[in-house]
Structure 1
């Protein structure tokens, strides 16, 4: 489904930011180049943005720019994985995920030593879904097995994790972000998590020192 657009003028009026701020944030990679969409209008060429995405991003920038530098914010918003790694004890101590989530993950995946960012991201996605109450432990196991098998194939692109159910039978899919999927009437989409969104959340948690209880 295509996201509704907002014009540059409407965006500046609605958010109160200046033209200079908008383009400075673009130069700093806080706002992706592909969000600047040039379209013909009755006045000539005009710039539009995906409305929900740009408003959410500007709200985050305004709320966090006093706590993080623009370069640090650019790293948070980047879909690229980071070099950070943490021990199991540090992950729990910093409240990145619950100990029960980490324990479940370790029953599925054999691991020793520190956890690199990509692995923490998979555990974090599991944590989000389990603690939402929307998936079962069995579905959590299936999600981790799917992510472990295909994560690096999809991590560099814009992909989403989708969980569906049909008559009590679950299926886990990794699909291109914002891709419309058409199911038969008996299939229900249970959850959809964009990798980029989860990456951003985890980076923020690591910058802030962990999640709130």
Structure 2
């Protein structure tokens, strides 16, 4: 199915932003270069955008620009978080997760190493699992280990984690672009989390500290 596009003129009309704002946000890398699609029309060359993606992105920028600088928003929206690192002390100081979740996660990794941004995502998932009261500690650690083992996929974005239980046996799935997930009657979906949403909330929290 071909992706629905929106013209630049319609985009500016729908969102109320100006031509100058649009291209300033492009220069700041808030809107990816590849979303500016040049196409031939009966009036000549026009610029189009992937409709759903650009409207979602502009809404996010508009919601955040009163509280954050454009550079901070660019950092927030960037998919590349490979250079980010945070110490154990700062996680505790900023109360990003519970002490108990941090204790359990520390048992799974080399001592003394700083935490990557992806570690924070997995810690947040583990914290949510432990607080839910739906799982055993070992199930939570299993889910965190599963995420660690699949970091290369998670970096691509648009993945959700599902923790399922069937006949007393727990297992995890990573599903990309999921809208609906169905399981047989013997399989219980214990927990699911949109990893991109967790990442975005974490970035906002970190930037606001």
Tell me the TM-score range normalised by the shorter chain.
Answer: 0.7 to 0.9
User: Higher relative CO (CA 8 A, sep ≥ 6), structure 1 or 2?
Assistant: 1
Q: Conserved in 2, the CA contact under 8 Å of 1:79 and 1:199?
A: no
SS at match of 1:47: strand
What root-mean-square deviation, in Å, do the aligned CA atoms of Structure 1 and Structure 2 show? Answer: 3.6
SS at match of 1:127: helix
Aligned twin of 1:146: 146
Distance 1:148 1:13, change over 3 A: same
Work out the CA distance in 1 between the residues paired with 2:127 and 2:43.
Answer: 49
Deviation at 1:86, TM superposition (A): 2.9
CA deviations on 1:42-79 (whole Å, 9 max, x unpaired) are 8775613342x433422332233244332222111111
Aligned twin of 2:203: 203
Work out the CA distance in 1 between the residues paired with 2:192 and 2:182.
Answer: 14
Deviation at 1:87, TM superposition (A): 2.9
Aligned twin of 2:48: 47
How many residues were matched structurally?
A: 204
Work out the CA distance in 1 between the residues paired with 2:66 and 2:48.
Answer: 28
SS at match of 1:83: coil
Distance 1:56 1:125, change over 3 A: farther
Query: What are the equivalent positions in structure 2 for 1:52-67 lying under 5 Å apart?
Result: 53-67=53-67
Deviation at 1:192, TM superposition (A): 4.2
Q: Conserved in 2, the CA contact under 8 Å of 1:8 and 1:49?
A: no
CA deviations on 1:23-54 (whole Å, 9 max, x unpaired) are 22122211223444567878775613342x43
